[in-house]
Amino acid sequence: MGLELNAQIIEYLRAIGWALTASIGFSLGISIALTVFDKLTPNINQWSEIKAGNYGASLIITSIIIMIGLIVYRVI
């Protein structure tokens, strides 16, 4: 019984470790992707467009976040 409990605790800790790894990878990936996107579009301020209610700009930012999330999910 004690051996099974130790194995289960190790699996829980492994799952928590992968969750932390995924969250760190996701946050780094999103920050890098949004920085690159901002550098590639210097004449457009996406954040002010989103604040002004431009749904097109918000859909572009949302799609970037979703795609980076899918890439990080597949890598990890």
**pLDDT tens profile 11-47:** 999 999 988 988 888 888 888 988 998 899 888 888 8
Report residue 59's pLDDT band, with 50, 70 and 90 as the boundaries: very high
**What would the two tokens of residue 3 be?**
């051996």
Average pLDDT in the 42-60 region?
89
Which residue bears the tokens 């002004």? 52
**What would the two tokens of residue 35 be?**
């920085």
Backbone angle region of 3, left / alpha / beta, with phi > 0 → left and psi within -120 to 50 → alpha: alpha
pTM of the model: 0.67
Which residue bears the tokens 């928590």? 16
Domain residue ranges of the chain, discontinuous segments joined by +: 23-75
